[in-house]
Amino acid sequence: MTKAYDIIIAGGGHNGLVCAAYLAKAGKKVLVLEKNDIVGGAAITKEVFPGKSVSLCAQFLHQFNTRIADDLKLSEFGLEFIDTDCRTSLLSNDGRHLTVSFDGQVEGDVAEDEVKAFQILITRLQEFSETLGFLADIPPIDIFDPDMQDKLSALKLGWKLRFGLGAEKMSDFLRIVGMNIYDLINEELEDDRLKALLSVDSVLGTHAGPRSPGTILTYLYRQIGGGKGRTLVPKGGMGAVSKAIAASAQAKGADILTGMHVREVLIDNCRVVGLRTSCGTVYNAPIVVSNADPKTTVFDMVGSRHFEADFVHRINTIRMRGNSCKLHLSLNSIPEFSGLGSEALAGRVVIADSADYVENSFNPAKYNEWSSSPVIEFSIPTLNDPHLAENGHVLSATIQYAPYSLKGGWTDEAKEAFKNICIDTLSRFAPSLKDSIEQSLLLTPVDLENEIGMQGGNWHHGEFTLDQMLMMRPVPLASRYALPLDGLFLCGAGAHPGGGVMGSAGRNAANAILRGDKS
Partner 1 sequence: MPRGAKMKSYDVIVIGAGHNGLTNAAFLAKAGLDVLVVEKNPHIGGAAVSRNLHKDWMYSNCSYVCSLFRPEIYRQLNLAKHGLQVITYNGGFTLTQDGDYIGSYNDPEIMRREIYRHSPVDVDAYDRFKTDISKWCRFIRPMLLRTPPDPTSFKFRDLDELRFLARKFLDLGPRDLHDFMKFFTISVADYLDQYFTSDLIKAHKAGSGIIGTGLGPMSPGSAYVMLHHYMGDVDGSVGAWGFARGGMGAVSNALAGALQEHGGEIRTNAGVEQITVKNGTVTGVVLDSGEEISAKRVVSNLDAKRTFLGLMDPKDAGEKVVKAAKNFKIRGSSGKLNIALNGIPEFPALPKGSDLIQGDFHIIDSLERMERAYDDWKAGRWSKDPYVDALMPSLTDPTMAPEGKHFLSVFVQYCPPKVEGKDWTDDQVQAFGDTVINQLAKYSPNLKDLIEHVEIRTPREIESEVGLTEGNIFQGELTLDQLLFNRPFPGYAQYRGPVQGMYMCGSATHPGGGVMAAPGANAAREILMDLKLGNTVPEDEGDD
Q: Which residues bind partner 1 (CB under 8 A)?
A: 143-144, 162, 167, 170-172, 174-179, 183, 187, 208, 211-214, 310, 314, 317, 319, 359, 363, 366-367, 465-467, 471-472, 475-477
- Nearest CA to 323 out of 365, 386, 355 is that of 365
Of residues 35 and 480, the one with the C-beta less far from partner 1: 480
Q: How many CB atoms lie within 10 A of CB 420?
A: 13
Write down the least CB distance from residue 513 to partner 1, Å.
Answer: 21
Q: What is the rounded distance in angstroms from the CA atom of residue 123 to the CA atom of residue 180?
A: 18
Please say which residue, 182 or 378, places its beta carbon nearer to partner 1.
Answer: 182
C-alpha–C-alpha distance, residues 410 and 300, integer Å: 23
Q: What is the largest CA-CA distance in the chain?
A: 71
| Shortest Å distance, C-beta 453 to partner 1 | 24
Question: Minimum Å distance from CB 5 to partner 1?
Answer: 32
Burial 310-322, CB ≥16 within 10 A → b, else e = ebbebbeebebbb
Torsion angle of C-alpha atoms 366, 368, 372, 375, degrees rounded to 10: 60
Residue nearer to partner 1 on the CB measure, 32 or 208: 208
The dihedrals phi and psi of 486, each to the nearest 5 degrees, come to -55, 125
Q: Which residues contact 496 (CB under 8 A, 6 or more apart)?
A: 136, 139, 140, 469, 470, 471, 473, 479, 480, 505, 508
Is the preceding omega at residue 22 within 30 degrees of 0, hence cis?
Answer: no
Radius of gyration over every alpha carbon of the chain, rounded to an integer in angstroms: 22
- What residue type is 121 in one-letter code? L
Q: Which is nearer to partner 1, 211 or 252 (CB)?
A: 211
**Which lies closer to partner 1 via its Cβ, residue 146 or residue 259?**
146
Q: How far is the CB of 480 from partner 1 (least distance, A)?
A: 11
Q: How far is the CB of 174 from partner 1 (least distance, A)?
A: 6
**Distance in Å, CB of 137 to partner 1, minimum:** 22
Q: Produce one character per residue of 432-447: b if its CB has 16 or more CB atoms within 10 Å, e if not.
A: ebeebbeebbbbbbbb
Which of 435/467 has CB closer to partner 1?
A: 467
Integer CA distances (angstroms), 343 to 102, 164, 188, 379, 425, in order: 16, 39, 30, 10, 21
Name the minimum Å distance from CB 477 to partner 1: 5
Cα–Cα distance, 99 to 91 (Å, whole number):
9
| Phi, psi of 378, deg, nearest 5 | -140, 175
In the complex with partner 1, which residue's Cβ is closer, 143 or 282? 143
In the complex, minimum distance from the CB of residue 353 to partner 1, in angstroms, rounded to a whole number: 17
Report how far residue 249's alpha carbon sits from residue 23's, in angstroms, rounded to the nearest whole number: 9
Q: What is the Cα–Cα distance from 27 to 386, expressed in whole angstroms? A: 39
Which of 214, 453 has the CB closer to partner 1? 214
**CB burial class (10 A; 0-12, 13-18, 19+) of residue 114?**
middle
Q: With respect to partner 1, which residue has the nearer C-beta, 58 or 478?
A: 478
Q: How near is the Cβ of 405 to partner 1 at its closest, in Å?
A: 13
Q: Smallest gap, in angstroms, from Cβ of residue 227 to partner 1?
A: 28
Task: Give the side-chain half-sphere CA count within 13 A for 94.
Answer: 7
Q: Which is nearer to partner 1, 210 or 239 (CB)?
A: 210
Strands (E), 317-359: 324-331, 348-351
Q: CB-wise, 83 or 359, nearer to partner 1? A: 359
- Minimum Å distance from CB 496 to partner 1? 14
Instruction: Quote the least distance from Cβ 300 to partner 1, whole Å.
Output: 22
Q: Which of 302, 318 has the CB closer to partner 1?
A: 318
374 backbone φψ class: left, alpha, beta (φ>0; ψ -120 to 50):
beta
User: CA–CA separation, 114 vs 450, rounded Å?
Assistant: 44
Q: How far is CA 1 from CA 28, 158, 282, in A?
A: 20, 53, 11
